[in-house]
Chains A and B, each alone.
Chain A
Amino acid sequence: MSVTAHPTPAGTEEYQPVFVGATLEALGEILTRYPTRQAALLPALWLVQGARGWISDRNMAEVAEVLGLTPAYVKGVVTFYTMYHQHPVGRHFVQVCTTSPCNVCGAEDVVRALLEATGANELGATSPDGNWTVIEVECLGACGFATPILVNDDFIESVTPDKVPDLVRKYK
């Protein structure tokens, strides 16, 4: 398998690799769990997203190099999984379930309340202060606790429109 070389494109600052120090060590430990290097791809992408907040094309090329894959292969995988961000997102990334079971319990009202309270205004857009991005997602696996939302890694159950302003304030 060939790994393409990645010279720094002219005019951009030098690429800072993710897999150095503790992150590289973490990956080393992860690699011991699987019989192939490729199997560490999802965990490696999580490490990148943890470090950088999103996964750029350059990051994908780095992951490819580290795991002996090609950048195109990695990109194909990244684009399959909706939790990997291919673009920068707000400091607080909010996922709201609007699938049927939550939908009948008022999930769409929760979305509206969140868009308003965060100032993000539009689904997928980032609020002017760069703090908030709100998206609708499909079932979060907590349908009995309508409406569940994820704020970054915090899983919050039973959100209703009236609880939204307080909730948003807590994250400011």
Chain B
Amino acid sequence: MSTELINLTVDDVPVSVPKGTLVIEAAKQAGVLVPHYCYHPGLPVAGVCRMCLVEIEKQPKLAIACATQVAEGMVVKTQSSAAKSARTGVLEFLLINHPLDCPICDQAGECELQDFTFQEGRPATRYSPVYAKRFNPVEDFGPDVLYVPNRCILCTRCVRFMEDVAKEPVLNVSERGDRAFIGIHPEARLDHPWAGNVVDLCPVGSLLSKDFLHKARAWELDKSASICTGCSQGCNITLDTREGVVVRVRPRPNLEVNRYFICDHGRMSYRWMNRGDRIEAPLVRRGGELHATDWDEALEAAATLLRGAARRGVVLASPRASTEALFFARELFRARGGDWRGAFQVVMGEEAALAAVPNLALRAERAPNARGAELLGYGRDYAAAVAAAETAAVLLVLDEPEIAGRTQGALIYAGTVLPAGGRGEAGGGGGGARDAQVVFPIANVAEEEGTFVNRDGRVQRYFQAKPTPGMARPAWWVFSELLAILGNGDGTEARVATAAAAFDRLASSVDAFRGLSYTHLGLAGVPASSTVPVPA
């Protein structure tokens, strides 16, 4: 698109948009939502549903806003009687074969057919009840997708996604006329690693997620902006929760990162957020056993350990930990002039690109914040760090319950869960979290605010979606409290009250984040300073 600006008005609101902009997008900028079904900014234009008909002055026929480019001086009227009645007509046609089964439809409440019918539809259908409606049985398309053809409005978004975006055309439009439906070949499955997007793209309840089937009604859901933890791509997502339980993950548009999509791996990586076997209280070791206690005692116990010998510390951190937590974990040693070493380990998997979107793939690195950890000086030489831990004065383990790290020094564990084997049980000398002197219960990604840095160095915020269990607190809080107790290194005991403040601390002391703030990051994130080399 060129930089030349075109001036037009949409419903009397003047806008200037780049040459080549579609009327439907220009309307958005004028604050006008033109009703539409087949159009989706992440897909090639089809112009088939004919829902977005608008009047353009001096044009003999109504035009579709989704395929018409703006022109200088254009006067667009979305509310003219001709345009409105054309759209009312489309809605009526779309509904004649529709089962009107909203009460049992998962889409109800977030259905564009419901929404626009409510807005512009006829109060009653003129389709005689004696006429048969099109009927086709529900079809199992793939591992997580069901097709309910009777609700399909044939907008072809799903077909275009598979054909033009995933570049694996496993869906088709079959037959023609009013017999048409979305088809698949009996020998094929809708099992592409990004296939789940068709469910989000479907404007009605025709493509359904089996995982979400009848789990919740749309209006019962709370939505929170978050970042996927499935890999280092850092796709922007929305966590849908119902009564404090994450029930669904959906993409949140971010043109710089994931456009409108997420992969199925990320989509399904949420159940762990609801784990019931959480550490709910701080634990301290007394007489060889871990005992639940309050925060004051636990923080004091840890402070004592750190005060004693904290100048030689090792941090084994999860690359799923927030940048803020990673920062304060390191500061526990570094701010006090200690000799510290931090490392993280990333689980690797198969890479799966979304063919038509440049720089978007399920990354082999299945962790959201490896880059953040690197920017903060954590290294990838995990084995060496584990070895160094043996002789360290303090080993701090951050949410890596299964780590077999041993140390002659003191072991502090901050985590969401204890290793398998059970809370406080003395394992067969396994080492790691179960040998800890102090255990801090921390919040998981859905329970706190924080940031991750994706593989391209983009710093992105995630928000709290559900309450923390028991006494658990965000890890940044735990470490910043500890640091305050120990003295911040600058002699102060200033406490950090919010995640935003935690980030400000980080930003003021780490070059890569200099000048950034939560306000500045907003919902879409900002690249970390690219001039800062990754510490080797």
A and B touch in the complex (CB under 8 A): yes
Q: Which residues of A contact B (CB under 8 A)?
A: 1-2, 4, 6, 57, 60-61, 69-77, 79-80
Of residues 151 through 188 on chain B, the ones whose CB sits less than 8 Å from some CB of chain A are: 163, 167-176, 183-188
Q: Which residues of B contact A80 (CB under 8 A)?
A: 175-176
Are B175 and A72 in touch, CB under 8 angstroms? no
Q: A1-B168, A1-B169, A2-B168 are in contact. Are A70 and B185 (CB under 8 A)?
A: yes
Are B185 and A57 in touch, CB under 8 angstroms? yes
Are A60 and B185 in touch, CB under 8 angstroms? yes
Bound together, the chains give a CA A79 to CA B185 distance in angstroms of 12
Bound together, the chains give a CA A57 to CA B174 distance in angstroms of 13
Bound together, the chains give a CA A76 to CA B188 distance in angstroms of 13
Q: Which residues of A contact B171 (CB under 8 A)?
A: 72
Q: A61-B185, A76-B183, A79-B183 are in contact. Are A70 and B170 (CB under 8 A)?
A: yes
Instruction: Give the number of residue pairs across the A-B interface with Cβ within 8 Å.
Output: 51
The main secondary structure of chain A at its interface with chain B is: helix
Bound together, the chains give a CA A47 to CA B24 distance in angstroms of 45
A76 contact from B167, B168, B172, Cβ within 8 A:
B172
Are B170 and A75 in touch, CB under 8 angstroms? no
B495 to chain A, nearest CB (A): 56
Chain B: interface residue total (CB-CB under 8 A)? 17
Q: Which residues of B contact A61 (CB under 8 A)?
A: 185, 187
Q: A76-B174, A79-B174, A80-B176 are in contact. Are A71 and B168 (CB under 8 A)?
A: no
Instruction: Identify which of A60, A74, A75 gathers the most chain B CB atoms within 10 Å of its CB.
Output: A75
Q: Which residues of A contact B176 (CB under 8 A)?
A: 79-80
Are A72 and B172 in touch, CB under 8 angstroms? yes
Q: Which residues of A contact B183 (CB under 8 A)?
A: 72, 75-76, 79
Q: Which residues of A contact B163 (CB under 8 A)?
A: 73
Give the nearest-CB partner of A77 in chain B: B172
B48 to chain A, nearest CB (A): 15
Q: Which residues of A contact B169 (CB under 8 A)?
A: 1, 69-70, 72-73
A57 contact from B170, B172, B173, B187, Cβ within 8 A:
B187
A172 to chain B, nearest CB (A): 34
B72 to chain A, nearest CB (A): 37
Are A1 and B167 in touch, CB under 8 angstroms? yes
Bound together, the chains give a CA A72 to CA B186 distance in angstroms of 8
Q: Which residues of B contact A76 (CB under 8 A)?
A: 172-174, 183
Are B168 and A75 in touch, CB under 8 angstroms? no
Are B187 and A4 in touch, CB under 8 angstroms? yes
Are B187 and A71 in touch, CB under 8 angstroms? yes
Instruction: Identify which of B173, B183, B184, B187 gathers the most chain A CB atoms within 10 Å of its CB.
Output: B187
Bound together, the chains give a CA A2 to CA B162 distance in angstroms of 12
Provide the B209-238 mask, 1 if CB < 8 A to any CB of A, else 0. 000000000000000000000000000000
Provide the B237-281 mask, 1 if CB < 8 A to any CB of A, else 0. 000000000000000000000000000000000000000000000
Bound together, the chains give a CA A9 to CA B183 distance in angstroms of 21
A56 to chain B, nearest CB (A): 10
Are B188 and A70 in touch, CB under 8 angstroms? yes
Q: Which residues of A contact B187 (CB under 8 A)?
A: 4, 6, 57, 61, 71
Bound together, the chains give a CA A80 to CA B174 distance in angstroms of 7
